[in-house]
Every structure is written in structure tokens, then in C-alpha cells.
């Protein structure tokens, strides 16, 4: 494993830097909702007024769908092999040794999360292994996750998380100015080794909307972010992987990426460097993916091949600064 150099700050207009640091989110086509992202549980709970939505996860093993607390879990398009807890699998008693308790695991990490009633905030414990990757977990790569929020069938907004800390328990969360009833959390990493494992834990939700303005000395910044999505589908062979998280409640801020028509800027609440995980040491099979999948597949019952959606997100940013 090589070390990732720290990303230098770019010489961008201060207003764009503020948007990247505070938002990092892509909002809806159909509404004027605003989304704020979080990389820290304490901050998320304090600002959103959120509370536990699932509590400790049960040990159910492989499921199609399951309701835990006020949340119903399922597989989002392109995902497979949902397990809540490791019961009945070769990973028992726990999917990930560093995370105590029962965890959620999938094949491809495309997770559907439906709430019992409309909410404005959703957050979850999360872990991305690197040197602590289980033997069945594949070759570790830095993963990018996209969160899409829906109210019924209407897209409310989207956000992406990149440069997620490795080998620790962290936290990811979103807060919207419009209510939503369903979230899809999808690994959109552009890598032939996207089948590596990340791990989810307990979920939290909040029912208070976020403000659409941000106070700033000298005026008020009103942020509006719109999204254009280009989607392509490629056939993907079946793979099984583990995912877990029910962990100690410390959180490491994760950086969020804002993509615009003119630049890409990675903003983070805390300057840090993360390990770069090489993908060059694994032998590729005929499909362009590592042969280690068969070892990991032992932990699940076979499923048919699934199609995975790889999404390219293009956002345009509009800023009104009132002095």
C-alpha cells in the first residue's frame, strides 16, 4: 500500500470553496431542495436533531428485505446479497472483526433504505477497510458513494462521498431542505476492483429541514445546486462481498466532492491524508476482475448475474451572494 499525498488547496474563488466545504451535494431536478453532507456523527445529531432509527442491528443473516426500527432495508438496482448480521453464513459471528455487534453486508453495495415516514436527515455508521480487509473482501480501493434521495418516485437530491477514511469507523450523513421517504446508497467507484468491501452499521434519521441559507460575515450566501445525470449500464457478473458496521461511536470526517462544468474540487472539514490502495497487484480474470471472487462467493447462496449502474454526475452551481 502506498501513501496518498495530501491534496493541495486550489486557487478557486472563495464562494466556490465555501460551497464545496459546506454542501458537496447535488440537489434535485424536480424540487428546490438543498442537501448538506456530514462526516461526523456528533455534528449530524446536533444540527439535525436526529436520533437512532434502527438501534442495534439484529442477526438475521441473508434477507430480501427487512424492517429494523423505522427503516426498511432492501437491495437497490444493481446490488445483490443483502445480509443483516452473519447468521447462517461462513462469516459468522461477525462480518468485520473490528466492528462489534451485527452488521449489514451486501454483494455489490447498492443499498435501499426506506423510512416509515418522511424524514429530512439520514445518517449511518460506515467503515472502509484497507489493511484490515477480511480475506473474502477483495482488493481494497478508495470507494465513491452516491446517495440519491426520493420522495415517493420523485428524486429530491443527490450527494457523493469520496476519500472516505480507511480502517476506522466513520459516519456519513445527508440533510435535506425537502422531505424524503427513500434513499439509495450506491457504490459508484470507477474501478475494476469495485467489488471490494465496505461496511454499514446503525442508521439515524431526523425530521427537521435544513435551512436554505448560510450566514456569512457581510451577507448571506444562498446556495442552489442543480444536477444532470448521465447513466450507463454494463453487465456485471455475480460477486459476493461482505459489509459490516455496528461500531464504536467515534467518527472521522470524510471529504466530499463537488463536480461542476468547469472544475473538480475536493473539500474536507479536516486536512488529512489517506492511504492509496494499489490495484495493480491482483491478477485479472477474463471479465477484467480479480479471480478472488469465487472465494468470497462461498459466503452467499448463488444469484443470477446483475446489471450495475455506473453514473457520471455533472452538476452546475448557481450562487447568489447578498452583501
pLDDT in tens, 22-53: 334 333 344 557 999 999 999 999 999 999 99
| pLDDT at position 117 over 50 | yes
Mean pLDDT in the chain?
66
Instruction: Look up residue 295 and give its DSSP letter.
Output: H
Cβ neighbors of 47 (< 8 A, separation 6 or more) are: 38, 175
Cβ neighbors of 209 (< 8 A, separation 6 or more) are: 120, 176, 177, 178, 179
Neighbours of 273 (CB within 10 A): 11
Question: What does residue 169 show for φ and ψ, rounded to 5 degrees?
Answer: -90, 125
List, in sequence order, every residue forming a beta bridge with 68; answer none if it has no partner. Answer: 71
Domain region containing 57:
2-322
> At 291, is the secondary structure helix, strand, or coil?
coil
E strands, 44-153, in order: 51-52, 61-63, 66-68, 71-75, 82-84, 104-105, 110-127, 145-151
**Contact indicator for 187, 108 with CB cutoff of 8 Å:** yes
- Name, of 63-67, 94-98, 161-165, the range with top average pLDDT: 63-67
> What's the rounded Cα separation, in Å, for the pair 102 and 189?
26
Please report which confidence band the pLDDT of residue 175 belongs to, taking 50, 70 and 90 as the band edges. very high
pLDDT of residue 96: 82
Number of domains in the chain: 1
| pLDDT at position 167 over 60 | yes
Instruction: Look up residue 208 and give its DSSP letter.
Output: S
- Note the helical H segments in the chain: 14-22, 41-48, 293-297
> What's the rounded Cα separation, in Å, for the pair 172 and 163?
12
Please report which confidence band the pLDDT of residue 138 belongs to, taking 50, 70 and 90 as the band edges. low
What's the average model confidence in pLDDT over 264-291? 34
Q: At 233, list the grid cell.
A: 449500464
What's the average model confidence in pLDDT over 262-284? 33
pLDDT of residue 136: 73
Instruction: Look up residue 57 and give its DSSP letter.
Output: P
Q: How many CA atoms lie within 13 A of 23 on its CB side?
A: 33
Quick one: the chain helix, strand, coil %, rounded to 5?
5, 45, 50
**Contact indicator for 289, 193 with CB cutoff of 8 Å:** yes
pLDDT of residue 211: 72
**Contact indicator for 107, 239 with CB cutoff of 8 Å:** yes
Higher pLDDT, 205 or 297: 205
Percent over 70 (pLDDT), the chain: 53
Instruction: Look up residue 286 and give its DSSP letter.
Output: T
Please report which confidence band the pLDDT of residue 82 belongs to, taking 50, 70 and 90 as the band edges. very high
Amino acid at each position: 500500500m502506498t501513501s496518498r499525498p495530501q491534496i493541495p488547496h486550489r486557487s478557486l474563488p472563495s464562494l466556490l470553496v465555501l460551497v464545496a466545504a459546506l454542501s458537496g451535494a447535488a440537489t434535485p431536478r424536480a424540487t428546490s431542495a438543498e442537501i448538506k453532507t456530514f462526516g461526523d456523527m456528533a455534528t449530524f445529531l446536533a444540527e439535525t436533531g436526529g436520533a437512532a432509527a434502527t438501534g442495534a442491528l439484529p442477526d438475521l443473516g441473508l434477507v430480501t428485505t427487512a424492517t429494523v426500527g423505522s427503516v426498511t432495508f432492501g437491495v437497490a438496482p444493481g446490488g445483490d446479497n443483502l445480509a443483516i448480521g452473519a447468521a447462517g453464513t461462513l462469516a459468522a459471528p461477525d462480518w468485520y472483526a473490528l466492528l462489534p455487534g451485527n452488521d449489514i453486508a451486501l454483494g455489490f453495495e447498492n443499498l435501499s433504505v426506506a423510512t416509515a415516514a418522511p424524514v429530512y436527515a439520514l445518517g449511518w455508521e460506515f467503515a472502509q477497510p484497507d489493511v484490515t480487509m477480511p480475506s473474502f473482501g477483495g482488493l481494497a480501493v478508495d470507494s465513491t458513494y452516491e446517495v440519491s434521495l426520493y420522495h415517493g418516485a420523485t428524486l429530491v437530491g443527490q450527494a457523493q462521498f469520496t476519500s472516505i477514511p480507511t480502517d476506522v469507523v466513520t459516519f456519513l450523513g445527508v440533510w435535506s431542505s425537502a422531505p424524503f421517504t427513500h434513499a439509495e446508497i450506491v457504490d459508484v467507484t470507477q474501478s475494476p476492483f469495485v467489488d471490494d468491501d465496505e461496511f454499514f452499521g446503525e442508521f439515524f434519521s431526523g425530521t427537521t429541514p435544513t435551512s436554505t441559507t448560510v450566514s456569512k460575515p457581510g451577507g448571506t450566501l444562498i446556495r442552489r445546486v442543480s444536477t444532470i445525470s448521465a447513466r450507463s449500464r454494463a453487465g456485471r457478473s455475480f460477486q459476493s462481498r461482505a459489509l459490516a458496521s455496528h461500531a464504536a461511536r467515534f467518527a472521522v470526517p470524510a471529504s466530499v466532492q463537488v463536480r461542476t462544468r468547469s472544475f473538480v474540487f475536493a473539500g474536507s472539514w479536516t486536512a488529512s491524508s489517506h492511504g492509496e490502495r494499489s490495484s495493480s497487484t491482483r491478477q485479472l480474470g477474463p471479465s477484467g476482475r480479480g479471480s478472488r471472487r469465487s472465494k468470497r462467493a462461498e459466503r452467499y447462496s448463488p444469484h443470477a448475474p446483475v446489471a450495475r449502474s455506473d453514473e457520471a454526475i455533472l452538476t452546475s452551481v448557481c450562487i447568489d451572494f447578498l452583501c
